[in-house]
Amino acid sequence: MRILITGAAGQLGTELCHQLEMGRCALGPLPAQLRGAEVTPVDLPDADLTKHAGADMLLRRYTPDVVINCAAFTQVDLAESEPDAAFAANALAARNLAMACEVAGAKLVHISTDYVFSGDSARAYAETDLPCPASVYGETKLLGEQYVRDFCCRWFIVRTAWLYGRTGGNFVKTMLKLTAENDSVKVVNDQRGNPTNAEDLAYHLLLLAATEEYGLYHCTGNGVCSWYEFASEIARLAGHSAEMIPCTTADFPRPAKRPANSALEHRMLRLTVGDHMRHWQDALADYISEMGHDTA
């Protein structure tokens, strides 16, 4: 099988490449048809996916069976002041890949976000809930989903949230650094969601890619917490003694509105390839143990 991974230098793309190289991860072995797969990792400046010709040329050159699109404009606040850049990366690039995949007969696994929801619900969002984004980032990611649906027949759209992995910056690494260097740290306690280990997410993306169970999925760590609770657990696992101080979203005004509740329900996973996502505390403990405190 030939697998093309866009955004391969990021947290998720790196983890996908690692698992495909090893043939397994902490959750188990990969499906047999993915072991020994021919993997092509691409990132800027390898191809400009915001141009139709760039995506088309990429698919014609590598003729993949599966494309996993991890490329995105993820700077939520910057998207408010640079909406065209966010639109190009999150919507146009998704459209162009979908069109190219349709011509090539390739499956498309497209990564989306909890930010397609407003966050006003009192319960976890299911795949059947209607999106209502409250930020430019969420709007452009939702349009990317719609383009994938419109222009490609063989698609998996997978929404995730609060992602952390081995490569690049993330909330876990930031909190490890802050709690190691300060006596106290303030963290927002009125936004709730699902911390997600990139290892667990990558494994489920590959499980899906080996099937024809096309559709919309939610895939996050199991269990719900606030950013404050997440940060407190990071400090505890690292053995850092900094005092964790809860605060409100209003205490840290940001250009983009954050959802108060972005927890996601995993119904489609349970009914297809199975929900093997670990509880967020278990996945976090393994991550900190494996990476060590040098993650900061």
Active-site residue set: 137
The DSSP annotation for 18-86 comes to HHHHHTEETTEEPPGGGTT-EEEEE-TTS--TTSHHHHHHHHHHH--SEEEE------HHHHHH-HHHH
CATH code, residues 2-295: 3.40.50.720
pLDDT at 292: 74
What pLDDT is attached to residue 296? 40
pLDDT of residue 77: 97
pLDDT tens column, 139-192: 999 999 999 999 999 999 999 999 999 998 999 999 999 999 999 999 999 999
pLDDT tens-digit map of 233-249? 999 999 999 999 999 99
* Angle, vertex CA 267, rays to CA 265 and CA 271, nearest 5: 160
Domain ranges of the chain: 2-295
Can you give the pLDDT at residue 166? 92
What is the mean pLDDT of the segment spanning 16-41?
95
pLDDT one-digit tens code per residue, 50-103: 999 999 999 999 999 999 999 999 999 999 999 999 999 999 999 999 999 999
pLDDT at 58: 96
pTM, whole model, 2 decimals?
0.96
